[in-house]
Amino acid sequence: MAEQLCGQCGKTPAIIEDLDVEPAQGWCLGCALALVKVGDPIVNYRELQGGAMYTHELAERGTTQTLRFR
C-alpha cells in the first residue's frame, strides 16, 4: 500500500487523518502542529503511522479542546 501524503503540503507522509472532512484528509506533523500553534488543532482524527507524536504534542499543551474564532 502506498504511503499517504499530507493533503496540505503534499510532500511529507501523513501521520493523522482529519475525520471532520469528507473524505478524510491526511496531515503531516509539521502542518498539523502549525494549526495547533494558531489555535485550531485537529481534534477529531485517526492516528496513522507516527500519529502518536501528534497526540503527545496535544497532551503537552494541556488540552485538545479550543474555542473556535467567530
Is 20 contained in some domain? Answer: yes
Is 32 contained in some domain? Answer: yes
Cell readout for 49 is: 503511522
Position 65 confidence tier, pLDDT thresholds 50, 70, 90: low
Place of cell 491526511: 26
Rounded to an integer, the average pLDDT of 32-38 is 92
Is 2 contained in some domain? Answer: no
Is 49 contained in some domain? Answer: yes
Is 22 contained in some domain? Answer: yes
Is 46 contained in some domain? Answer: yes
**Rounded CA separation 35/22 (Å):** 19
Is 25 contained in some domain? Answer: yes
pTM of the shown model: 0.80
pLDDT at 17: 96
**Rounded CA separation 10/33 (Å):** 16
Is 69 contained in some domain? Answer: no
- Contact of 39 with 66, CB cutoff 8 Å: yes
pLDDT at 32: 95
Whether 69 has a pLDDT exceeding 50, the answer reads no
The count of structural domains within the chain is 1
**Rounded CA separation 26/66 (Å):** 21
Domain of residue 47: give its range.
Answer: 16-60
